[in-house]
Amino acid sequence: MKIVVTKNYDEMSLFSAKQIMEVIKDKPDASLGLATGGTPIGMYQQLIHLHENGLDFSKVKTFNLDEYVGISQQHPESYHKFMYDQLFNHINISPDNVHIPRGDCSDMHEQCELYEKEIQLAGGIDIQVLGIGSNGHIGFNEPGSNPEERTRVVQLAESTIKANARFFGSEELVPRLAISMGIQTILKQCKKIILLASGEEKADAVRAMIEGEVTPELPASFLKLHPDVTIVVDQQAAKKLIVSQAS
Ligand code: GLP
Protein backbone atom coordinates (compact mmCIF):
# COMPACT_ATOMS: atom_id res chain seq x y z
CA MET A 1 0.00 0.00 0.00
CA LYS A 2 1.38 3.38 -0.98
CA ILE A 3 0.25 6.28 1.21
CA VAL A 4 0.07 9.86 -0.09
CA VAL A 5 -0.80 12.55 2.46
CA THR A 6 -1.91 15.79 0.84
CA LYS A 7 -2.16 19.24 2.44
CA ASN A 8 -5.89 19.48 1.92
CA TYR A 9 -8.97 18.31 0.00
CA ASP A 10 -8.10 20.25 -3.16
CA GLU A 11 -4.64 18.74 -3.36
CA MET A 12 -6.13 15.26 -2.80
CA SER A 13 -8.61 15.89 -5.62
CA LEU A 14 -5.96 17.13 -8.03
CA PHE A 15 -3.55 14.29 -7.25
CA SER A 16 -6.20 11.64 -7.82
CA ALA A 17 -7.50 13.26 -11.03
CA LYS A 18 -3.94 13.22 -12.37
CA GLN A 19 -3.66 9.50 -11.57
CA ILE A 20 -6.73 8.90 -13.72
CA MET A 21 -5.41 11.15 -16.46
CA GLU A 22 -2.18 9.12 -16.61
CA VAL A 23 -4.17 5.91 -17.06
CA ILE A 24 -6.26 7.44 -19.88
CA LYS A 25 -3.19 8.90 -21.61
CA ASP A 26 -1.57 5.50 -21.51
CA LYS A 27 -4.72 3.70 -22.65
CA PRO A 28 -7.38 5.91 -24.31
CA ASP A 29 -10.03 3.17 -24.03
CA ALA A 30 -9.31 2.49 -20.34
CA SER A 31 -12.00 1.24 -17.97
CA LEU A 32 -12.42 3.48 -14.94
CA GLY A 33 -14.05 2.26 -11.74
CA LEU A 34 -15.87 5.19 -10.16
CA ALA A 35 -17.26 6.00 -6.74
CA THR A 36 -19.90 8.34 -5.36
CA GLY A 37 -20.21 10.17 -2.04
CA GLY A 38 -18.94 13.62 -1.15
CA THR A 39 -15.25 12.71 -1.29
CA PRO A 40 -14.65 12.32 -5.06
CA ILE A 41 -16.63 15.42 -6.12
CA GLY A 42 -13.49 17.59 -6.17
CA MET A 43 -11.69 14.96 -8.23
CA TYR A 44 -14.54 14.95 -10.75
CA GLN A 45 -14.28 18.75 -10.97
CA GLN A 46 -10.58 18.40 -11.71
CA LEU A 47 -11.30 15.79 -14.39
CA ILE A 48 -13.80 18.16 -16.01
CA HIS A 49 -11.09 20.83 -15.97
CA LEU A 50 -8.61 18.40 -17.53
CA HIS A 51 -11.20 17.54 -20.18
CA GLU A 52 -11.67 21.24 -20.98
CA ASN A 53 -7.92 21.26 -21.52
CA GLY A 54 -7.95 18.32 -23.90
CA LEU A 55 -8.34 15.07 -21.93
CA ASP A 56 -10.40 12.81 -24.18
CA PHE A 57 -13.01 10.47 -22.71
CA SER A 58 -14.55 9.40 -26.03
CA LYS A 59 -13.25 5.84 -25.78
CA VAL A 60 -13.22 5.56 -21.98
CA LYS A 61 -15.51 3.06 -20.25
CA THR A 62 -16.74 3.48 -16.70
CA PHE A 63 -18.07 1.11 -14.05
CA ASN A 64 -19.60 2.44 -10.88
CA LEU A 65 -19.22 0.65 -7.60
CA ASP A 66 -22.76 0.69 -6.36
CA GLU A 67 -26.33 1.96 -6.44
CA TYR A 68 -29.26 2.06 -4.05
CA VAL A 69 -31.90 -0.61 -4.53
CA GLY A 70 -35.52 0.42 -4.95
CA ILE A 71 -35.06 3.89 -6.43
CA SER A 72 -35.17 4.81 -10.10
CA GLN A 73 -32.28 6.21 -12.11
CA GLN A 74 -34.10 9.57 -12.11
CA HIS A 75 -34.40 9.74 -8.31
CA PRO A 76 -32.54 12.88 -7.12
CA GLU A 77 -30.28 10.78 -4.90
CA SER A 78 -29.61 7.89 -7.28
CA TYR A 79 -25.94 7.31 -7.99
CA HIS A 80 -26.91 7.31 -11.66
CA LYS A 81 -28.03 10.92 -11.38
CA PHE A 82 -25.05 11.81 -9.20
CA MET A 83 -22.60 10.57 -11.83
CA TYR A 84 -24.28 12.43 -14.70
CA ASP A 85 -24.54 15.65 -12.63
CA GLN A 86 -21.01 15.51 -11.24
CA LEU A 87 -19.10 14.18 -14.25
CA PHE A 88 -20.69 12.55 -17.29
CA ASN A 89 -22.72 15.59 -18.42
CA HIS A 90 -19.52 17.63 -18.51
CA ILE A 91 -17.15 15.35 -20.46
CA ASN A 92 -17.24 13.66 -23.87
CA ILE A 93 -18.05 10.17 -22.64
CA SER A 94 -20.43 8.01 -24.66
CA PRO A 95 -23.47 6.93 -22.59
CA ASP A 96 -22.99 3.46 -24.14
CA ASN A 97 -19.69 3.21 -22.27
CA VAL A 98 -21.17 4.14 -18.89
CA HIS A 99 -22.04 1.26 -16.56
CA ILE A 100 -23.84 1.87 -13.29
CA PRO A 101 -25.51 -1.08 -11.55
CA ARG A 102 -29.31 -0.74 -11.65
CA GLY A 103 -31.19 -0.85 -8.39
CA ASP A 104 -34.63 -0.91 -9.96
CA CYS A 105 -34.66 -4.27 -11.80
CA SER A 106 -37.27 -6.91 -11.14
CA ASP A 107 -34.54 -9.56 -11.13
CA MET A 108 -31.69 -8.17 -9.04
CA HIS A 109 -29.80 -11.47 -9.08
CA GLU A 110 -29.67 -11.36 -12.86
CA GLN A 111 -28.55 -7.71 -12.72
CA CYS A 112 -25.66 -8.65 -10.39
CA GLU A 113 -24.50 -11.45 -12.71
CA LEU A 114 -24.79 -9.16 -15.74
CA TYR A 115 -22.71 -6.47 -14.07
CA GLU A 116 -19.88 -8.88 -13.28
CA LYS A 117 -19.98 -10.12 -16.90
CA GLU A 118 -19.81 -6.56 -18.24
CA ILE A 119 -16.70 -5.88 -16.15
CA GLN A 120 -15.10 -9.11 -17.36
CA LEU A 121 -15.99 -8.35 -21.00
CA ALA A 122 -14.25 -4.98 -20.67
CA GLY A 123 -11.12 -6.85 -19.57
CA GLY A 124 -11.41 -5.66 -15.97
CA ILE A 125 -10.99 -2.17 -14.53
CA ASP A 126 -7.74 -0.29 -15.16
CA ILE A 127 -8.08 2.10 -12.23
CA GLN A 128 -10.68 1.96 -9.48
CA VAL A 129 -11.49 4.97 -7.32
CA LEU A 130 -12.74 4.21 -3.82
CA GLY A 131 -13.93 6.28 -0.91
CA ILE A 132 -14.19 4.88 2.60
CA GLY A 133 -17.08 4.95 5.04
CA SER A 134 -16.32 5.98 8.60
CA ASN A 135 -17.12 2.35 9.49
CA GLY A 136 -14.49 1.16 6.99
CA HIS A 137 -16.85 0.21 4.18
CA ILE A 138 -15.79 0.34 0.53
CA GLY A 139 -18.53 0.57 -2.08
CA PHE A 140 -21.40 -0.72 0.03
CA ASN A 141 -19.38 -3.62 1.43
CA GLU A 142 -20.25 -3.11 5.07
CA PRO A 143 -18.45 -4.53 8.12
CA GLY A 144 -18.88 -8.30 8.16
CA SER A 145 -18.67 -8.60 4.36
CA ASN A 146 -17.29 -11.83 2.98
CA PRO A 147 -14.18 -11.12 0.85
CA GLU A 148 -15.22 -13.86 -1.59
CA GLU A 149 -18.41 -12.02 -2.58
CA ARG A 150 -18.87 -10.44 -6.00
CA THR A 151 -21.58 -7.97 -7.11
CA ARG A 152 -24.67 -8.58 -5.00
CA VAL A 153 -27.50 -6.96 -3.08
CA VAL A 154 -26.45 -5.85 0.40
CA GLN A 155 -28.09 -4.42 3.50
CA LEU A 156 -26.80 -1.01 4.58
CA ALA A 157 -25.33 -0.70 8.06
CA GLU A 158 -27.13 1.59 10.52
CA SER A 159 -24.09 3.89 10.57
CA THR A 160 -24.20 4.20 6.76
CA ILE A 161 -27.93 4.98 6.82
CA LYS A 162 -27.20 7.71 9.38
CA ALA A 163 -24.23 9.06 7.38
CA ASN A 164 -26.21 9.16 4.12
CA ALA A 165 -29.36 10.68 5.68
CA ARG A 166 -27.83 14.09 4.89
CA PHE A 167 -28.49 13.45 1.20
CA PHE A 168 -32.07 12.18 1.61
CA GLY A 169 -33.23 14.68 4.21
CA SER A 170 -33.99 12.04 6.86
CA GLU A 171 -32.91 8.56 7.92
CA GLU A 172 -36.32 7.07 7.08
CA LEU A 173 -35.91 7.98 3.42
CA VAL A 174 -32.53 6.28 2.96
CA PRO A 175 -32.93 2.97 1.08
CA ARG A 176 -32.03 -0.05 3.23
CA LEU A 177 -30.59 -2.09 0.37
CA ALA A 178 -27.99 -1.46 -2.29
CA ILE A 179 -26.29 -3.31 -5.13
CA SER A 180 -22.51 -3.25 -4.78
CA MET A 181 -19.44 -4.71 -6.42
CA GLY A 182 -18.02 -7.19 -3.92
CA ILE A 183 -14.62 -7.23 -2.26
CA GLN A 184 -13.63 -10.03 -4.63
CA THR A 185 -14.68 -7.94 -7.63
CA ILE A 186 -12.52 -5.08 -6.37
CA LEU A 187 -9.50 -7.25 -5.56
CA LYS A 188 -9.59 -9.44 -8.67
CA GLN A 189 -10.95 -7.18 -11.42
CA CYS A 190 -9.19 -3.89 -10.63
CA LYS A 191 -5.60 -3.52 -11.81
CA LYS A 192 -4.89 -0.36 -9.87
CA ILE A 193 -6.81 1.16 -6.96
CA ILE A 194 -6.80 4.65 -5.45
CA LEU A 195 -8.69 5.22 -2.21
CA LEU A 196 -9.51 8.81 -1.25
CA ALA A 197 -10.28 9.99 2.25
CA SER A 198 -10.78 13.50 3.52
CA GLY A 199 -11.64 14.95 6.91
CA GLU A 200 -11.23 14.03 10.54
CA GLU A 201 -14.31 11.79 10.60
CA LYS A 202 -12.40 9.33 8.40
CA ALA A 203 -9.23 9.33 10.55
CA ASP A 204 -10.11 6.23 12.65
CA ALA A 205 -11.11 4.17 9.61
CA VAL A 206 -7.98 5.27 7.72
CA ARG A 207 -5.75 4.31 10.62
CA ALA A 208 -7.44 0.93 11.08
CA MET A 209 -7.17 0.23 7.34
CA ILE A 210 -3.47 1.06 7.18
CA GLU A 211 -2.20 0.03 10.59
CA GLY A 212 -4.69 -2.61 11.69
CA GLU A 213 -5.13 -6.25 10.76
CA VAL A 214 -6.98 -7.54 7.71
CA THR A 215 -10.50 -8.24 8.94
CA PRO A 216 -14.07 -8.38 7.58
CA GLU A 217 -14.94 -5.96 10.39
CA LEU A 218 -13.10 -3.29 8.41
CA PRO A 219 -13.72 -4.13 4.73
CA ALA A 220 -11.18 -1.55 3.49
CA SER A 221 -8.44 -3.57 5.22
CA PHE A 222 -8.77 -6.21 2.47
CA LEU A 223 -7.09 -3.71 0.14
CA LYS A 224 -3.81 -4.78 1.77
CA LEU A 225 -4.19 -7.98 -0.25
CA HIS A 226 -4.05 -6.06 -3.56
CA PRO A 227 -0.67 -5.39 -5.21
CA ASP A 228 -1.30 -1.82 -6.47
CA VAL A 229 -3.19 0.39 -4.02
CA THR A 230 -2.54 4.08 -3.35
CA ILE A 231 -4.25 5.68 -0.38
CA VAL A 232 -4.64 9.43 -0.92
CA VAL A 233 -5.57 11.20 2.29
CA ASP A 234 -5.62 14.79 3.36
CA GLN A 235 -3.95 15.81 6.62
CA GLN A 236 -7.19 15.65 8.59
CA ALA A 237 -7.90 12.07 7.54
CA ALA A 238 -4.25 11.15 8.17
CA LYS A 239 -4.02 12.69 11.63
CA LYS A 240 -4.28 9.41 13.56
CA LEU A 241 -1.64 7.58 11.52
CA ILE A 242 1.43 6.84 13.61
CA VAL A 243 3.64 7.49 10.60
CA SER A 244 2.11 10.96 10.11
CA GLN A 245 2.64 11.82 13.77
CA ALA A 246 6.32 10.90 13.46
CA SER A 247 6.91 13.19 10.49
C1 GLP B 1 -21.14 5.85 0.47
C2 GLP B 1 -20.72 5.09 -0.81
C3 GLP B 1 -19.25 4.81 -0.81
C4 GLP B 1 -18.52 6.04 -0.33
C5 GLP B 1 -18.79 6.23 1.14
C6 GLP B 1 -18.20 7.51 1.73
O7 GLP B 1 -22.16 5.28 1.20
N8 GLP B 1 -21.43 3.89 -1.07
O9 GLP B 1 -18.83 4.41 -2.11
O10 GLP B 1 -17.15 5.89 -0.52
O11 GLP B 1 -20.14 6.08 1.45
O12 GLP B 1 -18.93 8.63 1.35
P13 GLP B 1 -18.43 10.11 1.57
O14 GLP B 1 -17.36 10.31 0.55
O15 GLP B 1 -19.63 10.97 1.30
O16 GLP B 1 -17.92 10.20 2.94
> Among residues 150, 219, 157, which one has the least CA distance to residue 188?
150
Q: Out of 74-83, 166-175, 237-246, which region has the weakest mean confidence (pLDDT)?
A: 237-246
Q: Is 66 a catalytic residue?
A: yes
Contacts (Cβ under 8 Å, ≥6 apart) of 92: 51, 56, 57, 58
**How many Å lie between the centroid of ligand 1 and the Cα of residue 161?**
11
What's the chain's average pLDDT?
Answer: 96
pLDDT, mean of residues 16-22: 98
**How many Å lie between the centroid of ligand 1 and the Cα of residue 196?**
10
Element (H, E) at 147: none
pTM of the model: 0.96
Q: How far apart are the first and last CA of the chain?
A: 18
Q: CA 140, CA 66: separation in Å to the nearest integer?
A: 7
pLDDT for the residue numbered 244: 55
Q: Which of 104, 126, 142, 234 is catalytic?
A: 142
DSSP letter for 215, please: -
Local confidence band at 242 (pLDDT 50, 70, 90 cut-offs): confident
Q: Is the minimum distance from the CB of 103 to ligand 1 under 6 angstroms?
A: no
Which residue, by CA, sits nearest to atom 10 of ligand 1? 131
Q: Is the minimum distance from the CB of 133 to ligand 1 under 6 angstroms?
A: yes
Q: Is the minimum distance from the CB of 16 to ligand 1 under 6 angstroms?
A: no
- Which neighbouring-strand residues pair with 154? 178
Q: CA 159, CA 24: separation in Å to the nearest integer?
A: 35
Task: Tell which one of 43, 132, 232 to mutate to probe ligand 1, the residue whose CB is within 8 A of the most ligand atoms.
Answer: 132
Q: Read off the pLDDT of residues 38-82 as tens digits, 9 standing for 90 and up.
A: 999 999 999 999 999 999 999 999 999 999 999 999 999 999 999
Q: Is 80 a catalytic residue?
A: no
Strands (E), the chain: 2-6, 31-34, 61-64, 66-68, 98-99, 127-130, 152-155, 177-180, 193-197, 229-234
pLDDT for the residue numbered 246: 47
Which residue, by CA, sits nearest to atom 9 of ligand 1? 139
